[in-house]
Structure 1
Amino acid sequence: MTTVLERLAGRRPVFSVEFFPPRDDADETVLWTAVRQLEPLDPAFVSVTYGAGGSSRERTIRTTGRIRRETTLTPVAHLAGVGHSRAELRNVVGWYAEHGIRNVLAIRGDPPGGPSAEWVAHPDGVTYADEMVSLIGGLGAFCVGVAAFPHGHPESPDLETDVRRLLGKIRRGAHFAVAQLCFEPDYFLRLRDRLAVLGCDVPLLPGVMPLTTRRTLAKSVELSGVSAPAAVAERLARHDDDPAGFRAEGLDITTSICERLLAEGVQGLHFYTLNRSTATRELVRRLGLGVSDRVHEDASRGRRGRPSEAGAGDGPMVGGRLQG
């Protein structure tokens, strides 16, 4: 199976996307509409999140396995340590290996009560994500990713401490890192440059949330842990009573963020899709990422599995967060 490192090895920047596992049949339809619509654009990989406390473990396993079997995509399975013993974690990793999934994003994970709840380690589990990296790496030839935080992890005393912890995860064997989203590219670029000074050259991908509605803006604030810059908030506030105008302005803002990151030489952009494809597809085309419309039409005729007949808009806001 292709690894994330192999997909990131080309000279051109790429894009990747994140999904969360569906909770019911209706969510399943929405998710697979997005999967089928994004597949022809050839994302470098697609990641599937893992719920707080392992609450979505079976759904994550099922969704990742189905993507592996029925599409041409490269799946990355999230694996969170919270709430699990080491034996349980080994079992999940073993299932991934058995089903041909070799790309895993290792995170500590949010506690079941949410990001603000107290985090308590399982008595037979792990405490930090670097332990997850070691555990996964000891079970086979996996390509392991980790989370990065341009503004620093909420529990880190300062940014330098957080950078050192990220470096520790990489030294334990992580092959790539995906950053939590941020509104201002400079925060991501400073993190990238600081890692380079410390001798770290693994791929680091910035996270991007397409700003299409007031709810996606709120989700972006929740995930990043920081408020939108005044200039961004002011531009969007002009369209509070105009959903179409808000969406157009939000995508222009998101495009500008992406263009700055690409101009600075990032290897790719990781889009938080909230299981919808429309905005991400529009951004990918604006930025010249993925494959051309003609190529993706040809690919859609020959891909594995049946394409969904339903359309998908930007839709409601649901989703997870990187943690640790």
Structure 2
Amino acid sequence: MVSPVARAEAFCARFGLRLPVLLAPMSGVPSIPLASAVAAAGGMAGCGALTFDSEAIADWMHRFRQAGGGRALLNLWVPDPAPARDAEAEARMAALLAAEGAAPGSLSPGLQDFGAQCAAVVAARPDAVSSIMGLFEPSQVTAFRAAGIAWFATVTTPAEARAAVAAGADAVIAQGAEAGGHRGAFDAARAEAQMVGLMSLLPAVADAVEVPVIAAGGIADGRGLAAALALGASAVSVGTAFLRCEEAGIAPVWAAALAEVAPEGTVPTRAFSGRLGRAVDNRWTRTVAASGGALPYPLQRAATAALRERAARDGDVELMQMWAGQSAAIGAAMPAAQRASRLWQEARELLA
């Protein structure tokens, strides 16, 4: 049996890393300083490109390389089917927004051209591309492989992991229920039913596939990294634990909330986008839950655009979209490179 440390070192050797640590690609936090710091420490930078058009994808990679470069991953969302429209539900959501003094946004989906995004990733040539909410088409997988781009597929069940490997994934990201931000469930309607904690999900996925498994969810210090490796992971993807680093550049009130929030203070919610994600509980998440639920993605995201923009501008934590994993408060804020390095140092000591 390969030891956890040897497995992590093999992953690092394969993908040109010094640390088995990936910066989770958080859409809305495309910070070049944060990505550069993690890459400089020897990990893999990450950028969520959900809202990026082709030019923005090229620009992010250019600025990242200008800032020092290193290993990097871009993430794309596999599109959902067109959402069903429900006039009664849309009127109810408009009334909730009006009660908060926010006009509902246009319900135009406003999504980027997914095919053009994939082509832009091929042209930008990051070291890896990750998928979430589903799988790439065979032609897209072929194009990534021809460009030397590894594919890391986000999965939330062993069945999704097996499907990803069958489709050509080079590694899978096993996303536990503890993870902040959006759930990667292939079937949006089953996201709540498939909320499995990383302690149970990770070994099940590791037993189900032969490719490397990257653990995501609730990992905020060396203990979490060591546990993930012991359960079969080859590396970890860490998001929330980096948000309190100065390089992340998030709103001060969001960072302050992360420092104080208890594990039970984060909730799975569709209140901001219509897709299930884990965020700091606040008045808006409770209002939407009590009202009967959100509109489907991306209609809810479009409807709440003005509310989210105003809350971010005003620092209103009761209405703000504050994605957060359940381990948000673990560990003091520190420079991002130091946090990445310490994760691996502490894990090695624990596993020695």
**TM-score scaled by length of structure 2:** 0.45
Relative contact order higher in (CA < 8 Å, ≥ 6 apart): 1
Q: TM-score, normalised by structure 1?
A: 0.48
